[in-house]
Amino acid sequence: LTVGDRTIGVLNLESRRPAAFSDETVRFLTTLAGQLAVTIENARLFHKVAQGERDWEDTFKAITDGIAIYDDDFTITRANPALADILAVPLKSLIGKHCYEVFSYCYGASHASCPHRRAMRTREPTSVEVEEEQLRKRLLLTSFPIFDEDGTSKGTVHTIRDVTEERALRAQLLQTEKLAAIGELVSGVAHELNNPLTSVMGYSQLLLAADLDPEVREDLETIYREAQRSAKIIENLLTFARRETALKGRTDINQILKDTMALRSYQLKVDNIELVAELDEHLPPTMAAPHHLQQVFLNLMNNAHQALLESNGPRRLLVRSQAVRDTILIKMIDNGPGIPEEHLSKIFDPFFTTKEVGQGTGLGLSIAFGIVQEHGGTITVESSPEQGSVFTVELPIVPDVDRAPRPPDQVEDERFEGYKALVIDDDAEVLEVVNRLLTSIGLRAVAVSSGQAALEKLDRERYDLAICDVRMPGMGGKELYRLVRERQPGLARRFIFTTGDSMSSSTRAFLEATSCPHVTKPFTIEELRKAIEGTMQTGGDHPSA
């Protein structure tokens, strides 16, 4: 049995009679063998085709992306189970429907942006990312034209991928990168602003220690308070912008709320929004990531702020905290226009926003929801039309397993007569005011403006302690400390660092590794005094004696 040049089988006949098969019989059997060969080959081909169809069908069903095949009349002729899952409808209900009956982003067959129409017209694949509002999903759709034998477009194949989570992760990554860039910018700005604030606060304290006219004293106290307020604003900006770690520590929720309100109070006041705080004074501390919780509270306040801008009457935002059994409740209550009932179920969904394009990403409340979940808590919303909204964050009270060590006892003599300090800072005004502050508490101070100059001084003279800025041009405080630790380990144990940005991860890691005390610019005389007291208790005779 042959097909072409291939032998696919054998037709074998036997007889006990000699010459049983005549020439005519042989010709007949030969013809029969040819027909049998064709029949067998066709059966094999039909089997392969059927198997190929089954394989194709299994593959079509197994593909995780949604697939739909359209004819030239925008009608779905085939669809796979993945598409039905994405659209949350029965598979059979899709067959025979037009694309604009299935997808809300399609506005009819004549719509110019229709991907099916565009692929048919251009005869090339086309992709579009769309928002399916009813499903609260973001879909990536790619349309491929199908051609018949003569090259005429006869339909399209659509692949539909649910990219909601992928886009949310990408947006969060971009947000993280933006915050990291902001953090670096704020860090540099903070360093530059905290230096002059150190001088303002330092000189104010020195002048306030003198016998002054009451009016002059009042003016100086105002200058000092405003410098402190400026320092707090910078600290809040640093705290918000820096999020290198999610490590949890002993956290005062009320303080985070106060810091967040301080960031928003001015803009709320400008927009005639009354900000009211009802904070439980007996609120227990809990273990939490303060920077992350501040982002939650800031997002909630921003959300309330924008809602209140749509209100024509008196505008009020109430921030409340209270402890209820083993939980902490934080409520943000506004008297704005409220949230429509149909939006409440999706208010925490990624990319959901009622704002105009460019006014928001729809990620703020979604990120807040995730952060609260990471803390083992919940976030809910209640709202009524024209009655306002109430966002409630519920956090568990987690006890602090690592108590902070008790601060060292104060030394009897707080004047430090006879002690000699080397002060290193690249800012001339900071050097001068620190020198004056040290002199006011009895120390002898020598000032230098660089790490290299400090090394030269240390080669010639002995000092009881060093007060050094972490960040300086050229040889910074980190490198100077490393060299001093090698050359004069006794003095290395009496280093006090000053920094305009203790929030940065690199500065924080360095200070923790050295175990040296530090004061954050702008600092007070009392903060500097306590740091010196703790340093002097580490030991021994005066190195300069």
Looking at the structure, tell me whether residues 390 and 299 fall in a common domain. yes
CATH of the domain at 370: 3.30.565.10
Q: Is residue 233 part of a domain?
A: no
Tokens of 452: 């290299």
Beta carbons of 144 and 120 less than 8 angstroms apart: no
Range of the domain at 377: 249-397
Most confident of 18-22, 347-351, 464-468: 464-468
With cut-offs at 50, 70 and 90, classify the pLDDT of residue 458: very high
Q: Does the pLDDT at position 16 exceed 90?
A: no
From 44, 62, 80, give the residue that closes a domain: 62
Distance CA 40, CA 45 (A): 9
* Secondary structure of 113-138 as H, E, C letters: CCHHHHHHHHCCCEEEEEEECCCCEE
Strand bridging mode 315-324 / 76-79: unpaired
pLDDT class for 61, splitting at 50, 70, 90?
A: confident
Examine residue 213 and state whether it is found in any structural domain, yes or no: no
* Amino acid identity at 145: P
Which residues are CB-neighbours of 118 under 8 A, at least 6 positions away? 126, 143
242 pLDDT tier (thresholds 50, 70, 90) = low
Q: Is residue 501 scored above 80 in pLDDT? A: no
Average pLDDT over residues 290-312: 89
Domain boundary among 45, 62, 79: 62
Is there a cis peptide before residue 522, judged by omega within 30 degrees of 0?
yes
pLDDT at 43: 86
- Going by C-alpha positions, the residue among 317, 344, 348 that lies closest to residue 333 is 317
Could you give the CA distance from residue 422 to residue 454 in angstroms, rounded to a whole number?
Answer: 8
Claim to verify: residue 35 and residue 79 sit in the same structural domain: no
Interval 460-500: pLDDT, tens: 999 999 999 998 999 999 999 999 999 999 899 999 999 88
1 vs 3: CA distance, rounded Å: 7
- Give the Cβ contact number of residue 99 at 10 Å: 23
- 58 and 102 assigned to the same domain: no
Phi-psi region of 330 (alpha: psi -120 to 50; beta: other; left: phi over 0): beta
pLDDT score for 179: 65
Instruction: Look up residue 403 and give its amino acid.
Output: R
Contact 94, 79 (CB under 8 A): yes
Packing angle of the helix pair 364-374, 164-208 (nearest 10 deg) = 80
Look up the CATH number of the domain holding residue 132. Answer: 3.30.450.20
Whole-prediction pTM? 0.50
Reply yes or no on whether the pLDDT at 60 is more than 70: yes
Which regions of 49-134 does DSSP assign to beta strands (E)?
Answer: 66-71, 76-79, 126-132
User: Does the residue 205 lie in any domain?
Assistant: no
Contact 494, 464 (CB under 8 A): yes
Q: Are residues 22 and 76 in the same domain?
A: no
DSSP 19-30: T-S-HHHHHHHH
> Which one is predicted more confidently, 241 or 121?
121
- Whether residues 377 and 480 share a domain: the answer is no
Mean local confidence (pLDDT), 199-222? 89
Measure the CA–CA gap between 292 and 239, rounded to whole angstroms. Answer: 10
On whether both 463 and 341 belong to a single domain, the answer is no
Beta strand spans in 200-289 (E) = 249-251, 273-279, 286-288
3-state secondary structure of 491: helix
- Separation between Cα atoms, residue 380 and residue 348, nearest integer Å: 9
Kindly state whether residues 387 and 433 are assigned to the same domain: no
**Residue 528 falls inside a structural domain:** yes
Model pLDDT, residue 408: 34
For the ranges 14-28, 282-296, 361-375, 519-533, which has the lowest average pLDDT?
A: 361-375
Q: Which domain-ending residue is among 114, 137, 162?
A: 162
- pLDDT at 390 > cutoff 70: yes
Q: Is the pLDDT of residue 450 over 80?
A: yes
377 lies in the same domain as 433: no
Main-chain dihedrals φ then ψ at residue 364, nearest 5 degrees? -55, -55
pLDDT digits (tens, 9 = 90+) for 135-194: 778 888 888 998 888 888 888 898 888 888 888 778 777 766 776 677 677 777 877 888
Question: What CA–CA distance (Å, rounded) separates 193 from 135?
Answer: 49
Least confident of 384-393, 395-404, 420-429: 395-404
Task: Tell me, yes or no, whether 142 lies in a domain.
Answer: yes
Same domain for 385 and 291: yes
**Residue 425 near residue 469 (C-beta atoms within 8 A):** yes
Q: Are residues 75 and 56 in the same domain?
A: no
List the CATH number of the domain containing 526: 3.40.50.2300
Same domain assignment for residues 436 and 520: yes
pLDDT at 405: 37
Rounded Cα–Cα distance for residues 246 and 259 (Å): 18
164-208 and 428-440 helices cross at what angle (nearest 10)? 50
The tally of domains found in the chain comes to: 4
Q: Do 21 and 127 reside in the same domain of the chain?
A: no
Does residue 179 lie in a domain region?
Answer: no
